[in-house]
A and B are shown apart, each in its own frame.
Chain A
Amino acid sequence: MAVSHHIERFHELPIHEFTPADARPRPAAGAVAWRLSVEYGSQQDFGQVWQSFLTEVDPAGVRAVVIGPWWRNEYTSVGPVIEAITAEARRLPALEALFLGEVTYDECEISWLEMDDVTPLLHAFPGLRSLAVRGGTDLALEPVRHDRLTSLRFESGGLPATVVRAVAGSELPALERLELWLGVDEYGGDAAMDDLAPFLDGSRLPKLRHLGLANSELQDEIAAAVAHAPVVARLESLDLSMGMLSDEGATALLEGQPLTHLLSLDLHHHYLSDAMMERLSAALPGVEVDLGEAEGDEAEDEFDRYVSVAE
C-alpha cells in the first residue's frame, strides 16, 4: 500500500495550495494552512516558490505551512528546503505548525523521499506547536529541547532507530501527541523494542495524552509491551494501527491493564480473527475502537502479513 490521500486540514486549518502570482483571490495569511509545492517539470525551484510565498503572502501572519513535492524532475534531498525555511524563520514569528513532505504516491512513493536532518526546524522555530514529517530515507534528528511543541509525528515506511532514539532523548515538556510510523526493516525501520521503552515507561513526556506506535512489523510485541506500560494510564487515545497486529498481540492487550479509560483505540489494518474483534469490542465498551481494514487471520505466517505503508 501507499499513502494515497492528501490531508485536507492541518493544525485545524483548511489546506490552501499556494500558487505564485495567482490571479485568484487569496485567503488571509492566518486563515489556512499554506501548502507549497513545486510542480512537476516546473521552471521554478523550491527556493523561488518559497520566496514568492514570503513576498505575496504576509509571512508575519502565517500560522501553518505544509511542504509538498520540493523537486522539479529528479528527486532531490529535502536538505535545501529545510535550509530555505530556517533561513527565513525571523519572518515567520507566528508559525505554529509545519508539515514537511505532504506527498502522496501520485507525486513520490513515501520511501523514495530523500530526507535529511530535521533538527534545525525545531531550533529555528521555538514557537512551533506541531511538526509532522513524512519520509524515512536518510531522515535524521538530534535530541533537542523544545518547550512549546505539543504534537510530533513521523510518518515513514521505515523510521530509522536513530530518529526514534533522538525523540526519546529529547526534552519535550509540552508534548501531548506523539505518533511514529515505524515501518519495516527493508526500508530502514530498524528500531527495536528497547528503543520504544522510553515512551512506555511513563518517565518522560509528562503531558502525553496520545501515543501512536503504528505501521510496524513488531505490532504484536508493541501491543504486548503496551499492555503493561505505565504510560497508558495517562493516555486518552492509543494508536497501534497499520501494522502486523494479530490475535497474539490483541490477546496480550486484553489480558493486560485496563484500557476502558481510553476514548479511542485505533487498530485499523490488522490481522485479527472475527472472534478477537468481537472480544475487543465487548471488552472495551465506551471506547471507540477502530477495527477497519481487517486483513483476515488466514495468514500462514508473518510473511503473508504486511504493514499498511512501506514503499
Chain B
Amino acid sequence: MRLTVLGNPGHRRVTLFAAAARAAGLPEPAVLPWLDVLRGRYRLPEGGLLRIESPGEEPEVDALLRGPALGPGYAPTRVEGTAVWYAGVMAALRGLAARPGVRLLGDPEEIAVMFDKRRAHALLAGAGVPVPRALGGEVTGWEHLRERLAEAGLHRVFVKPAHGSSASGVMALEFGPRGQVQATTSVELAGGRLHNSLRVRRYREEREVAAIVDGLAPDGLHVEQWVPKASQSGRSADLRVVVVAGRATHAVVRTSAQPMTNLHLGGARGSLDQVREAAGRAWPALLETAERAAACFPGSPMVGVDVLPTTGWRRALVGEVNAFGDLLPNLTGLPGGPAEGLDTYGAQLAALTTLLPSSPAATDHQITEPAR
C-alpha cells in the first residue's frame, strides 16, 4: 500500500503521520504540497492512496488563498477572507478528485460540509444528533443579527465564521436583562480591520461589537446557542473525541476559564479519568454521541468531534465536526478501545490496513512478524 499525503511539507501533521507509517512498517508516505495543488501545477503519484491533510498554518498557502481578496490590507492574522479561503480549498480538492486514477482517503464533499458550520449543523440536526439550537439562514450584519436573535428568543450565542477554524473569529455574544451587550472573542479590532490574537477580549460597546460582526458577516456566519458546559476542577470543560472508522478511539478533555477551550487561548488538557467518574453512566453516551455525529460523514475515515457536556454531565451536544481534528500529539487510544496504545495517526493506519486486508502493506506487515 503506497500512501501520499496532501499537506504542507515539514508540518507537524505531515511528519507525525509519516512517523506513524514508519512505526507501522509502512513505506515513508510521499508528500503532495498543498501549494502545488492550489496553483494547479502538480503531478499525481502513481497509484496508491491519497490522504488529505489540513492546508492550514502555512503562510504561503494562506497568502495565496486570502491575499487577493484582502488586498494590501492582507496579513496572516486577519480574520476576514474565510469565504475565499474555503472556495479555493474546495475547488482544488474537487479538481484533484476529478483526476483519473486518484484514490482519495476522505470524501471532498464531506469535507466541504464540515468546513461549512451551517451545513454541518443542519446535517447533524437532521440526523437526530443532539446539537445546540442554531439561528439558521443568512445573517447580513449586526442589525440583522440583533433582530433575528430577538425574534428567536436567543440571548446567549456563539457567532462563528461559517468557514473558520481554531476559534478564529469566534465570538461569545450575550445580551443582559437590561439591554447590556457583551462579546468575548480573540478578535482584535484595529482600524476597522479584524485580527486574530492570542488574547481573549471582552467588548461591551455596541459600536465595537457591531463593527466586528459586520466585518465577519460577508464571509458567512453560523450562530448557535451558547450552552453552559459541565465543569472540571471549577473550569468549563468539553471533549474532543476522535472517531476512526466509526469508533471513538481517542478523547481529550479541554478545560478553560474562557468560552473557547482551545489550547492556544488558554485552554488546558483536563483529566479523562475525572470525566469518566463524574459522568458515571453517562460516559458511554458521550462517546456514542460522537460516533453518531461521525456516522453523518460515512466517507470520512476520521473525524474529530467536539462534544459539549452540559452542566452535571447530564447530556452531550455536538459542537463541531472537524475534518482535520486529529492533531493530538502523544495521545494514545482509549483503554479497551480499538486504538489502545496507538496515537491518532497509528489508529487510522491500523484501520486502513484492516479495511484493506488484501493490500500489499498488510501482507508485508504480517510476514515481517517474527515466526514462532
Contacts and interface: CB of A to CB of B under 8 A. Distances in A.
A8 to B, nearest CB: 6
A112 B234 contact: no
Contact of A6 (B234, B258, B280, B282): B234
Nearest to A20: B314
A40 B258 contact: no
A194 interface: no
Contacts of A109: 174, 176, 180, 182
Most buried by A among B178, B228, B233, B257: B228
A296 B235 CA distance: 26
B308 to A, nearest CB: 11
A73 B175 CA distance: 12
B177 interface: yes
Contact of B177 (A4, A8, A104, A114): A114
B357 interface: no
Interface string A241-273: 000000000000000000000000000000000
B155 interface: yes
B68 interface: no
Interface residues of B, number: 33
B177 to A, nearest CB: 4
B182 A311 contact: yes
Nearest to A5: B234
Contacts of B202: 2, 311
Nearest to B259: A106
Given A4-B258, A112-B177, A114-B177, A39 B311 contact: yes
Contacts of A75: 176-177
Contact of A17 (B133, B174, B225, B312): B312
A183 to B, nearest CB: 15
A24 B281 CA distance: 6
Nearest to A103: B228
Interface in A1-59: 2, 4-8, 17-19, 23-25, 35, 37, 39-41
B227 interface: yes
Contacts of A311: 182, 202, 204
B312 A19 contact: yes
Interface residues of A, number: 31
B236 interface: yes
A311 B174 CA distance: 12
Interface in B185-234: 202, 204, 225, 227-229, 231, 233-234
B311 to A, nearest CB: 6
A40 B311 CA distance: 9
A48 to B, nearest CB: 15
B314 A39 contact: yes
A74 B227 contact: no
A107 interface: yes
B53 to A, nearest CB: 33
B183 to A, nearest CB: 12
A68 interface: yes
A295 to B, nearest CB: 15
Most buried by A among B227, B257, B280, B282: B257
Contact of A106 (B182, B236, B313): B236
Most buried by A among B229, B313, B314: B314
B310 interface: yes
B153 interface: yes
A35 B234 CA distance: 13
Interface in B308-363: 310-314
A4 B155 contact: no
Contacts of B178: 112
A73 B310 contact: no
A136 interface: no
A160 interface: no
Most buried by B among A4, A68, A69, A311: A4
Contact of B233 (A8, A37, A73): A8
Given A4-B235, A311-B182, A106 B229 contact: yes
Contacts of A111: 176
Interface in A64-93: 68-69, 73-75
B311 A8 contact: no
Nearest to B256: A4
Contacts of B228: 40, 69, 104, 106-107
A39 B227 CA distance: 9
A75 B178 CA distance: 10
Contacts of B312: 17-19, 35, 37
Interface string B277-288: 000111000000
B368 to A, nearest CB: 48
A106 B156 CA distance: 10
A68 B234 contact: no
B237 to A, nearest CB: 10
6 contacts: A17-B314, A24-B281, A24-B282, A41-B225, A41-B227, A104-B228
Given A4-B235, A41-B225, 16 more contacts: A4-B236, A6-B231, A6-B235, A8-B233, A17-B312, A17-B313, A19-B314, A23-B281, A24-B281, A24-B282, A41-B133, A41-B227, A69-B228, A104-B236, A105-B184, A111-B176
- 4 closest residue pairs by CB, A with B: A17-B312, A4-B257, A5-B234, A75-B177
Interface of B: 133, 153, 155-156, 174, 176-178, 180, 182, 184, 202, 204, 225, 227-229, 231, 233-236, 257-259, 280-282, 310-314
